[in-house]
Structure 1
Amino acid sequence: MGAGAFAVLAANSTHGSPEKTAASYFTAWRGGDVRAMSRLVFQVPDDFLERHLALSSSLGVDAIELTPGTLRMTGDETAEVPFTGRRKLRELGWWEFEGTLRLAVREKGWHVLWGPETLHPLLKDNGILELASVQAPSVELVTSEGDRLPDDNYADHYLEKLADAYPHEKGTALQAILPDDSTQTLISKVAKPKQQKTTLSRAVQAAAARALDGVSDAAVVAIRSSTGEIVGVADRLEGGSKAFTSYFPPGSTFKTVVAAALMDTGLSGSSQVECPATYQIPGFRSFTNAGSADRGSITFTEAFAHSCNTTFVEEVTTRMEPGDLIEAAAPWGFRGMQLPTGAGGACGKIPEPEELNLDWLGEAAIGQASVQATPLCMAALAAAVESGVWRSPRLLPADEAADLDGPPLRDVELDAGVIDGLREMMRSVVEYGTASEAGLPEGLAGKTGTAEVGGGAEHGWFIGYRDDLAFCVFVRNGGSGRSAAVPIAVRFLQGL
């Protein structure tokens, strides 16, 4: 070959190879020789050295390991090498990552095409990696049996409130701040939380949650009657409403309280009462039964079973004063009080209107007017009928709940004779009344409720108890208690 031809070939030749350039780059990177790395980079950025040193310094990198994959040609003069790596961070230990080293022929030689993403893919487009101080709950909430809570349990709001009430542990996290300003935690190190038992039963919680699958704007609250422990809460109420704290008119479920008040005036379950289709309070408004049902002369228990509005309006307005009903409701939790469950809560309230007249009293007798209750409160009411004692409900063991939310409200012993009468009445609702032939199990006692709401569909309620388990089902704007709430109760009880 002539000297001229050799000179042309040499001028057109490419120096080095992608394999050798990549190998040299990884060797220099492993050794922390940033200057040697920079000599292999085409058009090395002015801050190349600074970026490498700053990342290692800010993250506390003590060591780095790199494992190149197989080089692949992506064009005649371009190639890339996928690689895995891990950095040992002083505070967090080993952190694994993946990346790609890109190479190309530039100025007749193979060079690294460097970008911040070569250090880590998340540094692309001005992404940031940084260590951050984080806080994590010091407790892991579990069931009363010590088991993990069911998935999709619809109790997240209450569990988060409980967890947030405990002191949080400080820790460290490696975070990426992405170009869209979102934050991604890559690894973190915090103290392992201790297990904290709640009062929730895994079986009851699972049954309550599954009963609400496919149902919107509804809640189920279940309580162990003998202790006040909340053993299940599935809350799918919408618009920020919560089963523990949001008030709704209880409708005919409040007739349980009214029946107790009427028995204190001398009525008994066997007393004969009238249940006409319509009843007008003399000089005031009239009231009508659902479906304009006229049942004539029946027992008070039968009137309760069939939820006769006219019976309750007549008996209350002829036997009681408005203030009497407010006073009679107080032992059942209708005192406008907060419930120290551990995650907060409220019971019932009956705000006095400017004019306490018989119209108001008639409406209050059927759970309307200014009568308000939370689903939690109505579950506690059902538990009180079963046990004979109104107890302050709680989500944690008694001492833990008291530490977080204050001492429990005192127990209220209820009149044994009145309680016996209410139990018979609530059994009659299921046996032959408004909740009969609905698929409810034997031994269940309950009360349906349909609450009128101005400008919307009725709220559906059902409260009940069986075998030391009391519960409330509430469906906002769902229709009648029988059509909306009872089917959920059936699914709940079948799931136990």
Structure 2
Amino acid sequence: MLVIAVVAVVGAGAFAVIASNRIKGSADETAAAYFAAWREGDLAAMARLVYKPPEDFAVRHRQLSEELHVESLQLTPGPLRGTGEESAEVPFTGVRQLAELGAWPFDGVLHLAVRDRAWKVLWTPETLHPMLKDGVTLELTEIDPTPAELVTSEGDKIPVDSYAEAYLEPLRPEFEQVNHGWALVAKTPGRPDVRLLTRAPKAEVERTTLSRPVQAAAARALDGVDDSTMIVIRPSTGEILALADRLEDDYSAVRDVFPPGSVFKTITAAALLKSGLDPAAQVPCPGTYQIPFHSSFRNDGAVDRGVVTFTDAFAYSCNTTFVEQTTTRLKSADLRATAEEWGFGRSIATGIGGSCGAVPETGDLDMLAADAIGQGEVVTTPLCMAALAAAVESGTWRSPRLLSKEQVRRIDGIPHGDVVMDPRVVAALRDMMAAVVDHGTASGMGLPADVSGKTGTAEVPDGPSHAWFIGFRDDLAFCVFVRHGGSGRSAAVPIAARFFKGL
């Protein structure tokens, strides 16, 4: 009996030793539970499976996901392999989906060991990502945007030396707001940063209305002509096909106003036609004309053409005819109202700003006479004069634009709506502008036979006269302006001739 009792005592002691050395769980179970909790983002459950997790265990996980903009995490464990009697490891692959950079795969190893009679994860920062060791940090950085690329309506690069740069450069920031790039960077103290993933800034390409051949022809027509500009518009749409600007002293062909000289007679002629003056009416064109009890005006060179049709008075740019007819048929309010119909004082939404001009009302008959021939207080932009020529060609005034209608609305606001002009007045103006090139002040200058236009020479107090020429051919309307260039015939018309030859 004693022997049996001794054996029983010894057996119980051995069971107690075995029980006291029993290990809770297994390496497989702990690894599977850890990966499951990691996939679910259950940081508390993960921490319970880690042997002595650092105080910032949860913070590190959250910071990495938030700072790198992690959208999802995939984990694929490999087979468990023992590394000792009470240690093991599980190789695994992972893919973090980053919002800005897409999939970012990595390889890792989950280390496990028996601690306090239980299988635990031995966590280090490398468990989160293998690069997170020796003080390395991972950061998502923004790459500065590349300048937006503005191209022609055909999608081509803007021609070199196009003289449009002053308008295109300020536009580029308008299209850079979505152009940022991103880089995932590994930062190691004392070492250069290493880019792990990169998404280069996407170059924003925005089509302008500029036409490559038209812009090139306008720019080359201005070569060698200082202080000059040429604007070409498509009358049927208002699109600016060419904007070549060589004006000096920071002047702008789109925003700055100048005296228009005789190109303004296009507006005055429209007002006189509305008043009932017929294009075929016989009118005097003396070398000089004095308004009764007021100032005297004269033609260029005081040329006396006798009695001519109103169309020919326009073709020859008879100052005296326009002064007499205006002061006897019109009031200042009539001239101003007609100018406003044809764009003066009207808002222009181009995508690059712009203005048209002004015709102030006056009670002074001498000033009205001067205004009628584009001298007085009348001022305008070359852009406005190109739009005027376009309106004569198409019969509809349209706000000129350099960008798509959607972009113009975003940048400049809603443009003024199209305005249909009086068909009778339009038809007469077309014939009168054709006569200018056929036998008037722009004849014999090498222009194609189907070009119509109006020359202008604006006297100014600060130097030689400004030279103007506006006109159209088919679905092209243009304005040439040479600041202090002299006469419209000698300085501006040859530029238009070179332009059409270069198309």
Structure 2 counterpart SS, 1:311? helix
Label 1:172 to 1:417 Cα distance change in 2 as closer, same or farther (>3 A).
Answer: same
TM-score normalised per structure 1: 0.68
Which residue of the partner structure matches residue 333 of structure 1?
343
Confirm or deny that 1:377 pairs with 2:387.
no
Q: Which runs of structure 2 are paired with 1:153-164 in the superposition (5 Å)?
A: 153-164=162-173
Which residue of the partner structure matches residue 315 of structure 2?
305
Instruction: Report the CA distance between 1:433 and its aligned residue.
Output: 0.2
Structure 1 counterpart SS, 2:150? strand
Q: Which runs of structure 2 are paired with 1:214-253 in the superposition (5 Å)?
A: 214-253=224-263
Match of 1:144 among 153, 156, 160: 153
Decide whether the 8 Å contact of 1:389 with 1:414 is kept in 2: yes
> Which whole-Å CA distance do the structure 1 matches of 2:181 and 2:487 have between them?
51
Tell me how large the CA RMSD over aligned residues is.
1.8
> Is the deviation greater in 157-166 or in 284-293?
157-166
> Which whole-Å CA distance do the structure 2 matches of 1:278 and 1:193 have between them?
62
Max radius of gyration: which structure? 2
Can you list the C-alpha shifts for 1:232-267, whole angstroms capped at 9, x where unaligned?
010000001011001001100000011010000111
Confirm or deny that 1:462 pairs with 2:455.
no
Confirm or deny that 1:165 pairs with 2:182.
no
Which residue of the partner structure matches residue 127 of structure 1?
none
Confirm or deny that 1:278 pairs with 2:285.
no
> Which whole-Å CA distance do the structure 2 matches of 1:133 and 1:281 have between them?
72
Decide whether the 8 Å contact of 2:347 with 2:415 is kept in 1: no
The letter of the residue matching 2:162 is N
| Amino-acid identity (%) | 58
Which residue of the partner structure matches residue 411 of structure 2?
404
Instruction: Report the CA distance between 1:170 and its aligned residue.
Output: 4.2
Which residue of the partner structure matches residue 195 of structure 1?
205
Instruction: Report the CA distance between 1:171 and its aligned residue.
Output: 5.8
Match of 1:291 among 291, 297, 301: 301
Decide whether the 8 Å contact of 1:137 with 1:164 is kept in 2: no
Structure 2 counterpart SS, 1:460? strand
Decide whether the 8 Å contact of 1:222 with 1:379 is kept in 2: yes
Decide whether the 8 Å contact of 1:138 with 1:192 is kept in 2: no
Decide whether the 8 Å contact of 1:162 with 1:343 is kept in 2: yes
Q: Which runs of structure 2 are paired with 1:52-451 in the superposition (5 Å)?
A: 135-136=144-145, 139-168=148-177, 169-170=179-180, 191-335=201-345, 337-352=346-361, 356-451=363-458
- Show structure 1 runs of 5+ residues with no match: 1-131, 174-187
Instruction: Report the CA distance between 1:370 and its aligned residue.
Output: 1.0
Can you list the C-alpha shifts for 1:387-412, whole angstroms capped at 9, x where unaligned?
00000000011112111111111111
Structure 2 counterpart SS, 1:192? coil
Instruction: Report the CA distance between 1:162 and its aligned residue.
Output: 2.0
The letter of the residue matching 1:340 is A
- Show structure 2 runs of 5+ residues with no match: 1-140, 184-197
> Is the deviation greater in 278-287 or in 473-482?
278-287
> Which whole-Å CA distance do the structure 2 matches of 1:134 and 1:444 have between them?
51
> Which whole-Å CA distance do the structure 2 matches of 1:171 and 1:356 have between them?
62
TM-score normalised per structure 2: 0.67
The letter of the residue matching 2:169 is E
The letter of the residue matching 1:285 is S
Match of 1:495 among 473, 494, 502: 502
Instruction: Report the CA distance between 1:351 and its aligned residue.
Output: 3.0
Decide whether the 8 Å contact of 2:176 with 2:204 is kept in 1: no
Structure 2 counterpart SS, 1:478? coil
Can you list the C-alpha shifts for 1:14-72, whole angstroms capped at 9, x where unaligned?
xxxxxxxxxxxxxxxxxxxxxxxxxxxxxxxxxxxxxxxxxxxxxxxxxxxxxxxxxxx
Label 1:133 to 1:247 Cα distance change in 2 as closer, same or farther (>3 A).
Answer: farther
Structure 1 counterpart SS, 2:232? strand
